[in-house]
Amino acid sequence: MSKGAVPIHDQGYRGYAGNRVPHGQTWVVIAAAGLRTFFGKRALLGLLLLAWLPFFARALQIYAAANLPQAAFLALTPETFRQFLQQQQIFAFFITVYVGSGLIANDRRANALQIYLSKPLTRAEYVLGKLAILMTFLLFVTWVPAILLLIVQTLFAAAWRSCESTCICFPPSPSCRSFRW
């Protein structure tokens, strides 16, 4: 044995010296660890990027309808937002399958479920932590792009209305008769 090495049997028990998560908030630890794991997977990041392509297409449609008079037929209606959310259904399905399929199964395969439940963690907190991972990714595919699309539409509509009323346009709008820069 090398000098300075302490055999295992000479080491005594040392209590945990780190910070403990308050009772009822342990699900946050599970959710954070799961999110870190899934954000490290390139396949999931590619799927998320693919799921955001309809958002970028609709944002371009909003820009074109607001700034190009020949693209006025692209103006948004409430039906457009409903169609957008219907397009996102397929991505929500694939995200659910990709993320949800391994959430608990991987813990069972690695025998981590017994370790989780041997800690001061209730079954409900465990399930809530795993559910938070899935819900986070589903929000990234459905709710976040829909809200951003609504914001983009509101901003361009407000800019278009102010441009028509004041004729101070940047970029200049063909509908304005006189431009003041």
Name residue, tokens 């959430």.
Answer: 103
Nearest by Cα to 150 from 76, 65, 43, 86 = 76
Task: Pull the structure tokens for residue 86.
Answer: 């219907």
pLDDT at 174 over 60: no
Who has greater pLDDT, 10 or 76? Answer: 76
pTM, full prediction: 0.70
Residue 35 and residue 83: Cα distance in Å, rounded? Answer: 29
Instruction: State the helix-helix crossing angle for 78-100 and 123-141, rounded to 10 degrees.
Output: 140
Summarised one tens digit per residue, pLDDT across range 87-97 is 999 999 999 99
CB atoms within 10 A of CB 76: 19
Confidence of residue 177 (pLDDT cuts 50, 70, 90): very low
